[in-house]
Structure 1
Amino acid sequence: MSDLADPPAKNLSDAHTAQPALTGRKAIVTGGTTGIGRAIAVLLASEAVDVFVCGRDEQHLNDGLERIREVGKGGGMTVDLADPDGVDRFVSGAKDYFGDFDIAIINAAIPAKGLTTMTADELRYAIATDFTAYLTTAYAAADVMKDHGDIVFIGSVAAHLLGAGGSVYAGMKAGVAGFAEAVRKELAPKGIKVCNVEPAKTGADFQYPDFSAEKQAEEIRKETMLRAEDIAVGVHYVLTQPRRAVVQQVVIAPRARGDE
């Protein structure tokens, strides 16, 4: 038997900051039926957040809701946010489902290429989806939240790489980054926090047809591509900071990829 005295009790009062629980919160997730949006919705649902998602495809919606409801609560609808009334219909559907909400994950986006490689209609549709809908969803969310909530934009590292082959996409994501920074300052005094999460290349339907499912799996195995769940964990970190602290920007890149 040891003669050593029991070690003194540990004082852990300053070892960690208090993390607010997500239990009972309500979140909308645009593009929440596939890829990054789905991963975020599933993770939030698993943390007892009631989620309401949207997507453009009925099959994807049903599949996403099935997984969400395996771990928590959720509803959703199909809608094209590029339609002039798309965002209004989505927010109205969310309010019908659970009333007001205090988390908005603004994520729905489509690929876009270089300016001279797109038709005029493709350009307008991409802007409506990847930029205009981001701003109008934030507008609607701020109106619902009033004085308490979190708005998280899912941007892209493309905002900083600014490649010629994706000039339209890069330009829109740079616009989202600028808007997120400015609107964060605008909404902070009202009690609403704003963060812009910028993933690098992430495995998702978004990557088709350039990256097949098999090619994505291989890149993820080599750690040159992220999994959607990696981004969800980053969003979880943002949402579990004390109200006094705002994470302004998160950039998430694959460890083994040196050009991002």
Structure 2
Amino acid sequence: MGALDGKVACVTGGTRGIGRAAAEAFVREGAKVVINGRSEEKGKQAIAEMDAGDDVHFIGGDVKTREGCEAIVNGTVDHFGQIDILFANAGGASNHAPVVDLTDEAMQDSLVWNFWHTFWTMQTALKHMIPQQSGRIITMSSVEGKMGKPGLSIYVTAKHAINGLTKSAAQEVGTMGITVNSVCPGAIETDIMKAEGPPAAAAMGLDYQGLLDVFAEESAIKRLNETRDVAEICVLLASDAGAGITGSMISVDGGTSPY
């Protein structure tokens, strides 16, 4: 018996990185899972590598649009008949700069990719979860959702906004058998970190390795976390064992955040 037997999960940005690790953990615990991504090729590769047969399904789509987010969540229900778990994992930021030099476009893109995608998928999922009086929503925040860093304000701002949305939604659906929590990882060297880390480091006056070293040194464990660290917390939050946890910002950052 798995902790998620009979459940259906939807994971945005699920073809690689933290989303992929969470999707694999959900399947291991008995759930059927939809993974999402923009690339059909990466989706097919992920499905093949996961080797979970009909228990995993890929839905392509762009989370930077309301229509894309609605299609991903509603497509999960269309394919598997229900949605019990939403992990709004997709996100990122590019064109980092100090606030004085920031463009509107960089801030807007970060808010759409992180915050608006979370809002759109959460709202769509709740329209299914409220009638069934059960559900688990997990949002992807960050250690930057609890702290600030120079040069990374577009990401810090979006992740703080996600935490606020998470806390408010949890209050609204707390008596309906639905929990809403965010996970707040520290730095993890995923594909997107490798892609967006160097320009982010430059905005902080560092090279890429220097950025990784800063994140490691700030933690109590003096190393980066790994994707599986976050995935196991997602399993807890998605399970019956997590029923008493809601409106929480769960740090998985090796002791970096002060709270």
Going from structure 1 to structure 2, the CA distance change for 1:157 and 1:71 (only over 3 Å counts) comes to farther
Selected match of 1:67 from 36, 40, 49: 49
Q: What is the CA-CA distance between 1:39 and the residue it aligns to?
A: 0.4
Deviation by residue 1:94-150 (Cα, 9 ceiling, x = unmatched): 122112211101110022424455543333222111111101111001111121010
Work out whether 1:96 is the aligned partner of 2:78: yes
1:239 corresponds to: 238
Identity %: 23
Going from structure 1 to structure 2, the CA distance change for 1:28 and 1:244 (only over 3 Å counts) comes to closer
Q: Distance in 1 between matches of 2:258 and 2:127?
A: 39
| Residue pair 1:46, 1:72 contacting (<8 A) in 2 also | no
SS of residue paired to 1:208: helix
Q: What is the CA-CA distance between 1:69 and the residue it aligns to?
A: 2.8
Selected match of 1:126 from 98, 101, 110: 110
Q: Distance in 2 between matches of 1:198 and 1:258?
A: 9
Work out whether 1:186 is the aligned partner of 2:185: no
Q: Distance in 2 between matches of 1:241 and 1:135?
A: 24
2:123 corresponds to: 139
SS of residue paired to 1:164: coil
Work out whether 1:29 is the aligned partner of 2:15: no
Question: Taking structure 1 as the reference length, what is the TM-score of the superposition?
Answer: 0.81
Tell me the C-alpha RMSD between the 2 structures.
2.8
Going from structure 1 to structure 2, the CA distance change for 1:37 and 1:165 (only over 3 Å counts) comes to same
Selected match of 1:158 from 144, 150, 155: 144
Going from structure 1 to structure 2, the CA distance change for 1:244 and 1:155 (only over 3 Å counts) comes to closer
Work out whether 1:76 is the aligned partner of 2:58: yes
Going from structure 1 to structure 2, the CA distance change for 1:20 and 1:194 (only over 3 Å counts) comes to farther
Q: Distance in 2 between matches of 1:197 and 1:40?
A: 12
1:195 corresponds to: 181
Q: Which amino acid aligns with 2:107?
A: L
Going from structure 1 to structure 2, the CA distance change for 1:20 and 1:245 (only over 3 Å counts) comes to farther
Selected match of 2:37 from 55, 58, 63: 55
SS of residue paired to 1:144: helix
Q: Distance in 2 between matches of 1:83 and 1:253?
A: 30
SS of residue paired to 1:163: coil
Q: Which amino acid aligns with 1:164?
A: P
| Residue pair 2:31, 2:55 contacting (<8 A) in 1 also | yes
Going from structure 1 to structure 2, the CA distance change for 1:56 and 1:128 (only over 3 Å counts) comes to same
Q: What is the CA-CA distance between 1:167 and the residue it aligns to?
A: 0.6
Work out whether 1:230 is the aligned partner of 2:229: yes
Gaps of 5+ in 2: 199-207
Q: Distance in 1 between matches of 2:79 and 2:102?
A: 38
SS of residue paired to 2:13: coil
Q: What is the CA-CA distance between 1:231 and the residue it aligns to?
A: 0.5
Number of residues of Structure 1 aligned to a counterpart in Structure 2: 237
Q: Which amino acid aligns with 2:92?
A: I
Q: Which amino acid aligns with 1:246?
A: I
| Residue pair 1:156, 1:199 contacting (<8 A) in 2 also | yes
Q: What is the CA-CA distance between 1:64 and the residue it aligns to?
A: 1.6
Q: Which has the larger radius of gyration?
A: 1
| Residue pair 1:45, 1:72 contacting (<8 A) in 2 also | no
Deviation by residue 1:47-69 (Cα, 9 ceiling, x = unmatched): 11000011112222122212333
Which sits farther off after the overlay, 72-81 or 180-189?
A: 72-81
| Residue pair 1:41, 1:68 contacting (<8 A) in 2 also | no
Map 1:164-179; keep pairs closer than 5 Å: 164-179=150-165
Question: Taking structure 2 as the reference length, what is the TM-score of the superposition?
Answer: 0.81
| Residue pair 1:109, 1:130 contacting (<8 A) in 2 also | yes
* Higher share of residues assigned helix: 2
Gaps of 5+ in 1: 1-18
